[in-house]
Structure 1
C-alpha cells in the first residue's frame, strides 16, 4: 500500500515486489473498499490450524536461525571424523 500511496502503478508494484499483477490488484481493491481491516487474514475453508498463534510465534525465530557450525555436521551426534575406522571391504 505504501508503494501505491507513492503513485506507483499495479504493474510497477508487481515488478518491484515480485508479485503477480493480479495479486497486487486484488490487495489494492481490498484496501480501497475496507482500508487496513480489509487486509487482515480471512477465514479459510478446510481443517482448522494445527498450531496455535503462540506456538507459531515461538518456532519462527528458531526456524530463521542459521544452523550451528559443528564437527558433526551431517553425521549422527557423537560420531566424529577421528572416531571413524578405515573401511574394510567385505569378501
Structure 2
C-alpha cells in the first residue's frame, strides 16, 4: 500500500513539473497577453488544486471544507485575472 501512495505522489509531482513548464512556455510564446495570462492563471489553479488534494490531503476532508477551498481557489484565480484585465 505504501508503494502505491508513493507512486501517486510521484505522479502528482511530475504533473506539477509538466504544468509549470507548460505555463512558462505559454507565458513566453503566446503574444496575446490577456490570453496568456488567462491560460497561466488556469494552470496555476490546476496546480494549486493538485497540491491541496494530493499533498495536503483535502480529498479526505469533509465535503464542506472541500467546497470552501475549491470556491476560494476559483475566486482567487478569477480575481487575479480580473484585476489584470482592469489594469
TM-score above 0.5: no
TM-score by length of 1: 0.24
User: Between Structure 1 and Structure 2, whose CA radius of gyration is higher?
Assistant: 1
More RCO (CA 8 Å, sep 6+): 2
TM-score by length of 2: 0.25
Higher helix share: 2
